Amino acid sequence: MLLRWIVAPLALLGAAAAQAEGGTLVIVGGGLDPANGEIYGALLKARPDGAPTIAIIPAASGESAASARSATRALERHGAKPEDFVTIRLALVDDPATAEVDESGWAGNAYDPAEIAALERAGAIWFLGGDQARITALLLEKNGSDTPMLAAIRRRLAAGAVVGGTSAGAAIMSEGMIGQGDSLGALLGGKVGEALELTRGLGFLKGALVDQHFGERARLGRLAVALTDPAQRQRIGFGIDEDTALIVSLGDGRATVAGSGYVTLLDARNAQRTPGRRIGIAGLTLGLAGAGDSIDLAETAITPAPARKPTAGREYVERPLLSGGGMAYGDQSLGNVVGEGLLDNAAATVIEAHSFAGTTGVTYRFAKASAARGWWGRDGEGRARYTITGVAFDITPITVAIRKAAD
């Protein structure tokens, strides 16, 4: 069953039209297991007929040679042939492991006809991890326009090639880009942690903002702040876990999820953000999609994988759960909190989790809104996963007082 998990999906309708023609995006949240045939296979399969070449772009890495070799080995493991590969010589910093080559001399190669010609033959273009700012510094002009190499990548994508990236290579996919920051740093105005930095991405994916290493680095708060920033246009976010991919078919405006984690869909179109250094946000809507789930980008709707069954009426949990945080508290992953803790819990209508540093922090509040739905089941790999839609999500600043107990 297709369920619309948020209302007024007009923001992505124009984006879907803009993406009506083209190839495929394989956006990986980092930490990609070399044995993950589901994701590597999707990248290889998406190459158009007659275009087997895989262009590796190690521009984000400080160890470009080793990173390119590692990517090549992983892809060969899943069926790529040695003759398929070309490494695009594009880098901002020298790789200290290659004494015979100074890779920083490749910084101007976004204008090199030979490197661009190699890309023009590619059926797959694969951006490696590292620092996403290096990629955008090399491929965007100072005025934000395309370098000749980026224009060539766009032509290949429009002609049906697959463009993918992992970690930093995922961050660049959206028009806006998160350059740095953690959740507490973003929510507490940089008073603790690392403050949020927003900049420009390459814009292969229209109408949404991408975040990576999502669950592993607890970036839900960071994405919520980014989506409600007045200077950032996108109000829909995709937070992609490690070893997990959002695979976007630009021709039909649909995406599927592959891999071992979740893709979090965060909608901030109806959100209200409180002014001030310590940020509070109300009116967010959250969904989770796991391997086998599909997403209609125009309707911003999730279709659960066939093996997943509704949790309503057959909830696994029937007791209130503790609201808390910290190392002594149980699994606080989104799958556990909004899946088992809320949608798959007959006794819960609201669940809260707290994060703090010193005396300042935030409360995350998740609630069963009228549109909230949950499904649970095992995928083809036997992994138990939830599909979640329509959960109401708010963030509230708190002040924390910690005292040693008298007894």
> In this predicted model, what pLDDT tens digit does every residue of 236-282 receive, in sequence order?
999 999 999 999 999 999 999 999 999 999 999 999 999 777 899 99
CA distance readout (Å), 280 to 236, 350, 369, 392: 18, 18, 19, 14
Q: How far apart are CA 265 and CA 262, in angstroms?
A: 9
**pLDDT of res. 13:** 36
**pLDDT of res. 3:** 36
- What average pLDDT does the structure give for the chain? 92
Contacts of 312 (CB under 8 A, 6+ apart): 373, 374
Average the pLDDT over 45-70 and give the result: 96
Residue percentage of the chain with pLDDT more than 70: 95
Residue 286 has pLDDT above 80, yes or no: yes
Q: How far apart are CA 302 and CA 281, in angstroms?
A: 24
Residue 85 has pLDDT above 90, yes or no: yes
Average the pLDDT over 107-111 and give the result: 97
> In this predicted model, what pLDDT tens digit does every residue of 364-377 receive, in sequence order?
999 999 999 999 99
pLDDT band at 379 (very low <50, low <70, confident <90, very high): confident
**pLDDT of res. 294:** 97
**pLDDT of res. 235:** 97
Residue 82 has pLDDT above 60, yes or no: yes
Residue 16 has pLDDT above 70, yes or no: no
And the tokens for 357?
Answer: 């540093």
> In this predicted model, what pLDDT tens digit does every residue of 190-242 receive, in sequence order?
678 899 999 999 999 999 999 999 999 999 999 999 999 999 999 999 999 99
Please tell me the least confidently modeled range out of 119-123, 142-146, 179-183, 356-360. Answer: 356-360
**pLDDT of res. 225:** 97
Residue 122 has pLDDT above 80, yes or no: yes
Q: State pTM to two decimals.
A: 0.93
**pLDDT of res. 121:** 93
**pLDDT of res. 17:** 39
Residue 27 has pLDDT above 70, yes or no: yes
Domains of the chain: 3-303 (3.40.50.880), 315-399 (no CATH)
HEC sequence for the chain: CCEECCCCHHHHHHHHHHCCCCCEEEEECCCCCCCCHHHHHHHHHCCCCCCCCEEEECCCCCCHHHHHHHHHHHHHHCCCCHHHEEECCCCCCCCCCCCCCCHHHHCCHHHCHHHHHHHHCCCEEEECCCCHHHHHHHHECCCCCECHHHHHHHHHHHCCCEEEEECHHHHCCECEEEEECCHHHHHCCCCCCCCCEEEECCCCECCCEEECCCCCCCCHHHHHHHHCCCCCCCCEEEEECCCEEEEEECCCCEEEEEECCCEEEEECCCCEECCCCCCCEEEEEEEEECCCCEEECCCCEEECCCCCEECCCCCCECCCCCCECCCCCCCCCHHHHHHHHHHCECCCCEEEEEEEECCEEEEEEEECCCCCEEEEEECCCCCEEEEEEEEEEEEEEEECCCCCCCC
> In this predicted model, what pLDDT tens digit does every residue of 321-343 receive, in sequence order?
888 888 888 888 999 999 999 99
Residue 46 has pLDDT above 50, yes or no: yes
Residue 28 has pLDDT above 70, yes or no: yes
**pLDDT of res. 21:** 60
